[in-house]
Amino acid sequence: MQSLTNRKKVIEQKPMNIWERMYLPAIAKGLAITIRHFFKKIPTVKYPEEIRPYSKNFRGQHSLKRDEQGRERCTACGLCALSCPAEAITMTAVERQRGEEHLYREEKYAAVYEINMLRCIFCGLCEEACPKEAIYLDGPHVTAEFLRKDFIYGKDKLVEPKFDITKLNVNG
């Protein structure tokens, strides 16, 4: 058959000569290759001690953000749940009572906000959908658990801890 490219190489199988049949040159060649690898730099990253740098836009565990006064930004509009292609987010909306203004920024907030980490595909669409800039996928890896129920993260794990805005390093 005519070849389509001229890259074809016809390999001729000649019977081995005495030097090749002794195998010793081939063995020496093989030994040279392995010993070269013996002294090569090892690419292993010793994981718990060394962690490889993550990309800046790495999407990890979600966190529900607070505003400058430490109030939860989420208003339980449900757009994140609606945009979620994996249907991982559920929430229960509750009206803010008088005297809770220091806890919740909007008049309505999520009393229950759950993300099923087994369903979540970390696509970041909830982040994009949120009108209040309340949810970001800026956490670490979601860790392994023994039970399925432990993968349903509630507000206790999602809401970010309170911080003092005056002490925050803006440039960092």
Partner 1 sequence: MEGAFILEKLILVVVVFTVTLVIAMYSTLAERKIAGFMQDRYGPDRAGIFGILQPLCDGGKFFFKEEIIPAGAHKTLFILGPVIAIITACISSAVIPWGQDLVINGRTVSLQVADVNIGVLYVFGVIALGVYGIMLGGWASNNKFSLMGAIRAASQSISYEIGMGLSLIALLMVTETLQLGEIVAQQSGFVNWNIWVQPLGFLIFITCAFAECNRVPFDLPECETELVGGYHTEYSSMKLGLYMFSEYINMFVSSALMATLYFGGYNFPFMYDLGLSQNWITIIGVLVFFLKIFGFIFFFMWIRWTLPRFRYDQLMNLGWKILIPLAIANIVLTGVITLIKDTYFQ
Give binding residues as ranges: 74, 77, 80, 84, 120, 123, 126, 130
Specify binding-site residues for [4Fe-4S] cluster: 74, 77, 80, 84, 120, 123, 126, 130
Q: Which is nearer to partner 1, 29 or 102 (CB)?
A: 29
User: Helices in the chain by DSSP H: which ranges?
Assistant: 18-21, 24-38, 79-83, 125-129, 155-158
Is 165 a binder of partner 1 (CB under 8 A)?
no
CB 89 within 8 A of CB 82: no
| Contact call for residue 45 and partner 1 (CB under 8 A) | no
Q: State which of residues 15, 43, 131, 172 lies at the interface with partner 1 (CB under 8 A).
A: 43
Give the sheet arrangement for strand 152-153, strand by strand. Answer: 89-95, 108-116, 152-153
Q: How is residue 104 annotated by DSSP?
A: B
User: Stretches 11-19, 26-34, 64-72, 153-161: which one binds partner 1 (CB under 8 A)?
Assistant: 26-34
- 14 or 46: whose CB is closer to partner 1? 46
Q: How far apart are CA 163 and CA 51, in angstroms?
A: 26
Quick one: which of 40, 56, 98, 102 contacts partner 1 (CB under 8 A)?
Answer: 40
CA distance 132 to 144: 30
Residues lying near partner 1 in the complex (CB under 8 A) are found at: 27, 30-31, 33-35, 37-40, 42-44, 46
